[in-house]
Amino acid sequence: MAVILGCILLYVGCIVFVRVRNKATFGLKRQLTDFSTFMVPFNIPAYLLSKVPTSSRIDRSHFPELQIIEDNWEVIRDEALALYQGGKITAKDDLPASSFYKDNRWTSFYLKIYNNRVPSAYDLAPKTMALLDQVPSMNIALFAVLMPGKRLNKHHDPFAYTLRYSIGLSTPNSDGSGLIINDYDYKWRDGDSIVFDETYLHSAYNDTDVPRIILMTDIDRPMKIKLVQKLYWCFGRFFNGLFMIDNVDPTHTGLGNKLGKGLKAYQAFLKKVKRTNKTFYVAAKLIIVFGLLAYIGSRFL
């Protein structure tokens, strides 16, 4: 019984943590079953050991290694534009980002996924790759396009051991295209960049008639204990390796994507249930969560 009570208290504590930490939050009903709630225990060490502020936005001066990207953003932009105009920045079958690709509102071209080589990146964006390879703290990088008139809904990314660094390459250069992080509305401009903690609630919008093309990357969050940082890095390499995918050769992909078709069908089923009866959907998720907690607790009694 003590184990069950402990699990319930931990669950409640995670909900409180997310809602206190974020100025912008989901409604309580959504937060009860959102992935960000269950990731809090995994992310707490990253927050506690962070050598940089744990605020939603972090000054780029903490990352001097990114200066080479800042100085050469036009070189990167030219390769991104060539790929976009050549139809190479497309929707993918990588499972974690599958919801973003809906209706072709968001398209991407992967450049770097830890040390899992993306062959087409070196073939089609050699100058960009030569620059990225000089930033060892950069783990994931991609060209990301948000199409005209499209939006990405509010979401939390799951992992706090990295931070998001993005720089505008070819943007509308207007207040109609931006990124909302917590309660801050960042406007995209060519050559301007931002570093933020993607575990805060964020969303993106492009209310213009011009595609928004950026370089989007994940960089290591500097931590006070190198061993913890290395363990997080090893997890990130393993997890993202499951979902790596080449931009040209669909057979060059991770195991997670290969097994993902069944999961996508399951997700589609859940969405259908949610549309049909949202109350039943939320109630069923809660019953499953508490049922698992009860089962885990009973194993220790």
Count other C-beta atoms under 10 Å from residue 57's C-beta: 16
pLDDT in tens, 10-32: 999 999 999 999 999 999 999 99
First-to-last CA distance in the chain?
A: 7
Tokens representing 275? Answer: 């549309």
Please say whether the beta carbons of 11 and 37 come within 8 A.
yes
Q: What is the DSSP letter of 66?
A: G
Over residues 104-114, the mean pLDDT reads 94
- Domain at 60-258: CATH architecture: Sandwich (2.60)
**How far does CA 111 lie from the centroid of its chain?**
15
pLDDT in tens, 132-180: 999 999 999 999 999 999 999 999 999 999 999 999 999 999 999 999 9
- Find the range with the poorest average confidence among 54-58, 224-228, 284-288: 284-288
**Is it the case that residue 296 has pLDDT exceeding 70?**
no
pTM for this structure? Answer: 0.86
- Find the range with the poorest average confidence among 37-41, 85-89, 91-95, 127-131: 91-95
What DSSP element (H or E) covers 169?
strand 162-170
- Find the range with the poorest average confidence among 29-43, 230-244, 283-297: 283-297
Q: Tokens 């220790």, residue? A: 300
Please say whether the beta carbons of 128 and 217 come within 8 A.
no
Q: What is the DSSP letter of 245?
A: B
Domain boundary assignment for the chain: 2-38+260-299, 60-258
